[in-house]
Amino acid sequence: MNGCVLHVVGTRPNFVKAAPVVAALGAAGCEQVLVHTGQHYDERMSDIFFRQLGLPRPDTDLGVGSGSHARQTADLLIALEGELTTRAPALVTVYGDVNSTLAAALAAAKLGIPVAHVEAGLRSFDMTMPEEVNRRLVDQLARLLFATSPEAVGHLAREGVDTGRVHLVGNPMIDTLLTHLEQFDATGARTAHGLPERYGVVTLHRPANVDDPEAAAAAARVLTEAARHLDLVVPLHPRGRAALRAAGLADAPGIHLLDPLGYVGFMSLVRGATAVITDSGGVQEETTVLGVPCLTLRTTTERPVTVTHGTNRLVTHGELVPALRKLLDGGGAAPAEGPPLWDGRAGARIAGVITGWLERHG
């Protein structure tokens, strides 16, 4: 086993979270390897993020691609086992709660390689969410657990995780946002996409909203109704693209469908939005810091700090349009400040813990 840190990333949120950690460890002189699983393989969901976020090119791209949860996770396990066996890192660092995260943690644990989990302790308490299954399992396997908020630390303590393994460090996704904030050109993005001065941004990709044709049709109906009150721009995630189009979303007045966007382009639209409608965890966090009102089309969130400290509100399909109308009438005041430690220094804190751990255990 050598002294390197091997990072496993596979999706847009992983890239955004990993960038400040990789940069901070690089500044500390740490040897690193970056493995891209290819879970997001569309250039607009993958390659452009590496360029815009300043991430180094992956040392390995496994190119696993999409599939059912079982098939994708199985393919990831096989590919990652080979990679970890060959490279024998001192530590495997995983991000978030996607299938790449679970597969990397499980493959590393089976090989006796310690795991660090960035964004540990988040809980929606909804076991129908594949992400909830993933994050709970990864936290049981991890040696180092990096929490973004105090309630995440509390969840881990109640689950019996040794508190000595848990570190409250803040949110590396917000590091990335603050680093690139001046690049987010809201006016330019609005003009480029032909949007009116007031518009909303929509992102939907959770299975509960898009996998079942009936669920996708229900989402399309409520978005169509919402677009009567506010033009909505919808960058279509590969997951759910066909279902939402089939449900007629493309034909609705006031709906502007886009292909997936890069980080800067998407965040430029979000920064200038009157409101955001989403089922994404990361977008809930980003809108909280930007002070943009967010309506989350879910009944639970693993990021309750965005509700208590931010502008986020959970809504059902039936509640969405009334909530949007309230926002348009001036009912969405921005918070006075963001959550604790969401200050742009999370990557440095994580790097400090990792380098200290490597000195003791490397």
- The closest alpha carbon to 315, from 209, 207, 198, belongs to 209
Q: Say which DSSP state 42 is in.
A: S
The full DSSP string for 255-300 is EEEE----HHHHHHHHHT-SEEEE--HHHHHHHHHHT--EEE-SS-
Q: How far apart are CA 202 and CA 232, in angstroms?
A: 7
DSSP string, 189-232: HHHHTT--SS-EEEE---HHHHTSHHHHHHHHHHHHHHTTTS-E
Query: Which one-letter amino acid corresponds to residue 263?
Result: Y
Is 205 in the active site? yes
Q: Name the catalytic one among 36, 40, 117, 205.
A: 205
Contact (CB, 8 A) for 117 and 96? no
CA distance 327 to 303: 21
The dihedral of CA 190, 196, 200, 203: what is its sign? negative
For the stretch 79-85, contacts whose Cβ atoms lie closer than 8 Å and that sit 24 or more positions apart, written own/partner, are 79/37, 80/8, 80/35, 80/37, 80/104, 80/107, 80/108, 81/107, 81/110, 81/111, 83/6, 83/35, 84/6, 84/108, 84/111, 84/113, 85/111
3-state secondary structure of 115: strand
Sign of CA dihedral 305, 311, 315, 317: negative
* Residue 352: burial class (beta carbons within 10 Å; 0-12, 13-18, 19+): middle
Catalytic residues: 205
